[in-house]
Amino acid sequence: MPMHPVLIAGQWRAAKSSGTFQAENPATGEKLPGEFPISTWADCDAALDAAAGAACILRTLPPEQIANFLTRFAERIEARKSELVEIAHAETALPKSPRLADVELPRTTGQLRQAAAAALEGSWAMPTIDAKLNIRSTLAAIGPVLIFGPNNFPFAYNGVAGGDFAAAIAAGNPVIAKAHPCHPNTSRLLAEEAIAAVRETDLPPAAVQMIYNLAPEDGLRLVTDRRLGAVGFTGSRAAGLKLKAAADAVGKPFYAELSSLNPVVILPGALAERGAKIVEEFTGSCLMASGQFCTSPGLMILFAGGAAEQFIAGVKAKLENVTPGTLLSAGVARSLAASVKMLQAAGAELVTGGSPLLGNRFENTLLRVSGKKFLAAPEKLQTEAFGNASLFVLARDEAEVKAILDHLEGNLTGGFYSDTAGSDDAIYARLAPLLRTRVGRFLNDKMPTGVAVSAAMNHGGPFPATGHPGFTAVGIPASLRRFAALHCYDNVRPSRLPAALRDKNPNGKMWRLIDGNWSHEDISA
Amino acid sequence: MPMHPVLIAGQWRAAKSSGTFQAENPATGEKLPGEFPISTWADCDAALDAAAGAACILRTLPPEQIANFLTRFAERIEARKSELVEIAHAETALPKSPRLADVELPRTTGQLRQAAAAALEGSWAMPTIDAKLNIRSTLAAIGPVLIFGPNNFPFAYNGVAGGDFAAAIAAGNPVIAKAHPCHPNTSRLLAEEAIAAVRETDLPPAAVQMIYNLAPEDGLRLVTDRRLGAVGFTGSRAAGLKLKAAADAVGKPFYAELSSLNPVVILPGALAERGAKIVEEFTGSCLMASGQFCTSPGLMILFAGGAAEQFIAGVKAKLENVTPGTLLSAGVARSLAASVKMLQAAGAELVTGGSPLLGNRFENTLLRVSGKKFLAAPEKLQTEAFGNASLFVLARDEAEVKAILDHLEGNLTGGFYSDTAGSDDAIYARLAPLLRTRVGRFLNDKMPTGVAVSAAMNHGGPFPATGHPGFTAVGIPASLRRFAALHCYDNVRPSRLPAALRDKNPNGKMWRLIDGNWSHEDISA
């Protein structure tokens, strides 16, 4: 079987590899055709050199050209949609429709188009001008961005086509994508379209590069390399924290999305008012994509009592009535089983499920634990069980809920269900501030799955959900600002300023902060 | 001698200390009156507990109250100006006038007032509203901020009154200040005024706390504490990197200002056109405050030849004609001597100076090295010599300048001098991009000292100048955004939203990004 080449410096070239791997169909366990290389440092080094050169060229290109690339790439993905959906389905077992074809692929191309619009308008960089002192600053491309894509979104978070990719390119940076080894064929197809769009729009050939896999030690070396500007990582906490430590030691911005339980508190009034409806909402959310979303509701907090028992019984019945879906890989299935065991060892009891099934599936699983037991081992009981499993914590009273909230780690999301008549309002007012500071996106009366690509979205949160609570991975223009450095110009001659900082607004549409006011105007002499 | 108390939870209370220290008059070497405690973990723990409580209260206060505090604090500093200037002069040997009384103190109160205005207006938090999806987000207080102030600005960067302090408070956070041990009396006076202003404006008592010193291991523990929101550090690279590593490991935002050489390239045309004028500008800048500014020009890059030799002779004459100033401390004097020795050991030659003088002074020092030698040991020859010493690199040709720029570490500032007739324009165009990406603030025809408190300022830069190239320590509103987390509200009921995110613009002056447009408007139903 011939080995697939890697994409370096605009060429599909034979990898300098230390080994190979194959993708696997998670539904059947069969190896999928195609052998992929595990790149050695030689490939990384070549990609870094090429990316450094591309970064210099990208800085000089007009925004239109970058926008054109993003748009053409989106169009090319759409043109190859059916093949992409087939291959992604084979590699991930995610349903072809609606998930891959009707939700994730349109979301991916939508992100690319939003990024194109942001690059074209230029407001994302927040050009700021002090006209009197002639000091002017703007965010600017940070340099080559290395992107590690996760297993759970083969299109929308793919290192070579997803949200981080779109943001990094729109901010003017070349990307080195490290494909996820669970879906190399999907990544290959996307990279083929990316590099074709690069050629069509005359970007520097190394604007988009991709390798399939590498040894952990080369990953650690890569994230610290002087030629690299920043890193985007979505994946497991264990792998992410090792890479983050290496990057941090040399001050390399490392944007990580690591783990999240997405705690939801159901207040007593809501349970009494619409318990059955919330059963539907919860089970719909937690089983979506077999629970393999970063925002899956993994931790529910309830007030112990009859209403909670009824709610649990409703959820149990529902979970037992839905056929468990295939998980993304044998690794995910193993890890889910291990996490459920850890939760049990820490004091949680199984309500339903808890066992592996044939074909990389796992029983829909619900665990429960008392507030008291949770507080005895809060760290272990916050083990993420990535997949179709959730833990309910049953608190004795408000004080116990407060203590539980106080022991929560940082999460991407968190929220409250409360009744519509106002009987929960007082307790909400006391509890909400405790959860608010521990999450990025805070919800009312809504399950956390479903991350809209909106300018107001925060798909981020306090550590260990991410590495810094001020940044979001989803939402344009904010996601672009992760891949930028602040460039200030002091007394620089007008002709030498970047277009965004000259007196004339370069396109009449760019928002600039001029002497304290956001404006589309030119600066008058 | 009685030991000075520390400021914890609104009280001046006896420290739980492991030892004591005294300040020293750097000009005379005499110990100054007053014994100060080295706090143990017990003090840190008490301060953290109190700060966590204060953070919860501060989040609920109207912006007016925070603005009032900052303004009252500024007024109180002004009322105690002469005493502050006397004590700061005794502890730092910085000139009373103009430096302390006419430059640094007004800058400090100016920063506090700008921060008050920013808190009041609220635009710093960039409220962003997607009206259609009802997703709304804003930056919000991150939690207690620990601030390590440096030795070189007893007022303007003081942990209990300086730029980081003003930014952290204006963003709604309590501050735990760790005073610099070189000026504890100055810090004590400032803290007295701060806590008096806290009482006058009814902030929570632990909004401002201060300890004087602590053991290194307690510093490492402090920056990782769960109760802490973020850290601001200005100081030495060695100490800063240790604290940063500890904070990074637990995902605690750590904003550091560590070191900078502030490279300046003098192009041939500029040297020919106005060499004598640039001699004046350079010596004025590098001797300002005896070179003890973060933006002091420590590395000049010149094209070797007759004009460069004439320039060096001019600088030498000037440096030898100015009486060296007293350095901030015996430690600074020792460290400067050691750095100059390290530069010599790495291949630099002394042009003038190089020896310690009585009274914590050091000869005005100029070193030189060829481009070739610099490139043989670029890391060692970028040793920061904090104080009145600079290194000139004499490059053979443009290619060598390119290689030098390519080996530069990250710096706060960097710039070019070029001629006014245009003869340097071509070479500028080729070289400028190489320096641009390695600095935060990029200058033309101007020395780097003098950091204006402007919205367009960037007092930041790539590692190791700071820990992240996207943030600035000076310049409002941007400096506030360091001490904030991104808070998103998804489907949250209107009455439960923070004022900044409700349909009605809370003060009619706050800039909000509503559906892609920056606006002062309300959202119409």
Judged by CB atoms closer than 8 Å, whether chains meet at B486 and A458 is answered as yes
Give this prediction's pTM.
Answer: 0.98
Residues of chain B with pLDDT under 50: none
Give residue A22's pLDDT band: very low, low, confident or very high (50, 70, 90): very high
**CA distances (Å), origin A264, targets A86, A282, A319, A378, A423:** 35, 10, 18, 16, 18
pLDDT value of residue A311? 98
Cα angle B435-A220-A8, degrees, rounded to a multiple of 5: 70
**Distance of residue B140 Cα from the nearest chain A Cα, in angstroms:** 9
Closest CA to B128 of A475, A438, A213, A338: A475
Sign of the Cα pseudo-torsion (A347, A352, A358, A361, in order): negative
- CA B52 to CA A181: how far, in whole Å? 43
- CA B159 to CA B470: how far, in whole Å? 22
3-state helix vs strand vs coil in chain A, percent to 5 = 40, 20, 35
Tokens of A238: 């264990």
Q: Which residues contact A305 (CB under 8 A, 6 or more apart)?
A: A268
- Beta pairing class for A356-357 and A361-362: antiparallel
DSSP B383-431: ----SSEEEEEEESSHHHHHHHHHT---EEEEEEE--SSSTTHHHHHHH
Amino acid at B244: K
Tokens of B242: 């240790």
Residue A1 has pLDDT above 70, yes or no: no
Q: Are A97 and A55 in contact (CB under 8 A)?
A: no
pLDDT tens-digit readout, A384-427: 999 999 999 999 999 999 999 999 999 999 999 999 999 999 99
pLDDT value of residue B22? 97
Burial class (CB in 10 A: 0-12, 13-18, 19+), B20: middle
Q: Are B469 and B460 in contact (CB under 8 A)?
A: yes
- Could you give the dihedral angle defined by the CA atoms of residues A325, A326, A327 and A330, in that order, rounded to the nearest 10 degrees? 150
- CA A161 to CA A192: how far, in whole Å? 11
Lowest mean pLDDT among A1-5, A129-133, B155-159, B172-176: A1-5
Which residues sit opposite B50 in a β-bridge? none
- Other CB atoms closer than 10 Å to residue A354's CB: what's the count? 20
Which long-range contacts link A305-311 to residues 24+ away (Cβ below 8 Å)?
A305/A268, A307/A268, A307/A271, A307/A272, A307/A275, A308/A271, A308/A392, A308/A394, A310/A275, A311/A266, A311/A271, A311/A275, A311/A278, A311/A279
- CA B370 to CA B392: how far, in whole Å? 8
Which residues sit opposite A441 in a β-bridge? A413, B488
User: Could you tell me if A508 lies within 8 Å of chain B, comparing CB atoms?
Assistant: no
First CA to last CA across chain A, in angstroms?
Answer: 68
User: Could you tell me if A441 lies within 8 Å of chain B, comparing CB atoms?
Assistant: yes
Sign of the Cα pseudo-torsion (A366, A371, A372, A378, in order): positive
Task: Order the strands of the B517-519 sheet from edge to edge.
Answer: A349-352, A365-370, A389-395, A299-303, A264-266, A411-417, A439-444, B484-490, B135-141, B128-130, B512-514, B517-519
CB-side neighbour CA atoms (13 Å) of B359: 9
SS3 assignment, position B334: helix
Residues in chain A: 525
Give counts: helices (H), strands (E), chain A. 14, 23
- Could you give the dihedral angle defined by the CA atoms of residues B306, B307, B309 and B312, in that order, rounded to the nearest 10 degrees? 180
Strands of B225-312 (E only): list them: 230-234, 254-257, 264-266, 299-303
- CA A502 to CA B130: how far, in whole Å? 30
- Give the best residue of B252, B490, B496 to mutate against chain A (max A CB count within 10 A): B490
Q: Which residue has the tokens 């015996």?
A: B330
CB-side neighbour CA atoms (13 Å) of B424: 23
- CA A141 to CA A221: how far, in whole Å? 22
User: Could you tell me if A31 lies within 8 Å of chain B, comparing CB atoms?
Assistant: no
User: Could you tell me if A415 lies within 8 Å of chain B, comparing CB atoms?
Assistant: yes
CB-side neighbour CA atoms (13 Å) of A196: 14
Query: Residues of A numbered 178-207 whose beta carbons fall under 8 angstroms of chain B's beta carbons: which are they?
Result: none
Average pLDDT value over all residues in chain A: 97
- Beta pairing class for A145-148 and A230-234: parallel
What's the whole-number mean pLDDT along residues A442-460? 96
Residues of B taking part in catalysis: 257, 294
- Give the best residue of A133, A248, A285, A425 to mutate against chain B (max B CB count within 10 A): A248
SS3 assignment, position B364: coil
Q: What is the DSSP letter of A315?
A: H
Which residues sit opposite B442 in a β-bridge? A489, B414
Q: Which residue has the tokens 């935060």?
A: B440
User: Could you tell me if B469 lies within 8 Å of chain A, comparing CB atoms?
Assistant: yes
SS3 assignment, position B316: helix
- Give the best residue of A285, A437, A512 to mutate against chain B (max B CB count within 10 A): A437
Tokens of B442: 């990029």
- CA B116 to CA B97: how far, in whole Å? 27
Of A133, A415, A460, the CB nearest to B486: A460
pLDDT tens-digit readout, B467-480: 999 999 999 999 99
Of B245, B462, B513, the CB nearest to A455: B513
Judged by CB atoms closer than 8 Å, whether chains meet at B491 and A446 is answered as yes
Q: Which residue has the tokens 């008012």?
A: A273
- Other CB atoms closer than 10 Å to residue A524's CB: what's the count? 6
Burial class (CB in 10 A: 0-12, 13-18, 19+), B426: exposed
Q: Using a CB-CB distance cutoff of 8 angstroms, which residues of chain A are in contact with residue B436?
A: 487
Q: How many CB pairs under 8 A join A and B?
A: 191
pLDDT value of residue B1? 67
Annotate A433-466 with three-state secondary structure: HHHHCCEEEEEECCCCCCCCCCCCCCCCCCCCCE
- CA A7 to CA A208: how far, in whole Å? 8
- Other CB atoms closer than 10 Å to residue A450's CB: what's the count? 12
Closest CA to A210 of A464, A452, A476, A4: A4
pLDDT tens-digit readout, A468-511: 999 999 999 999 999 999 999 999 999 999 999 999 999 999 99
**CA distances (Å), origin B35, targets A492, B158, B187, B501:** 49, 19, 13, 49
What does R_g of chain B's alpha carbons equal in angstroms? 24
**CA distances (Å), origin B255, targets A246, B148, B241, B294:** 18, 10, 11, 15
Judged by CB atoms closer than 8 Å, whether chains meet at B469 and A486 is answered as yes
Residue A236 has pLDDT above 70, yes or no: yes
Give residue A2's pLDDT band: very low, low, confident or very high (50, 70, 90): confident
pLDDT value of residue B2? 81
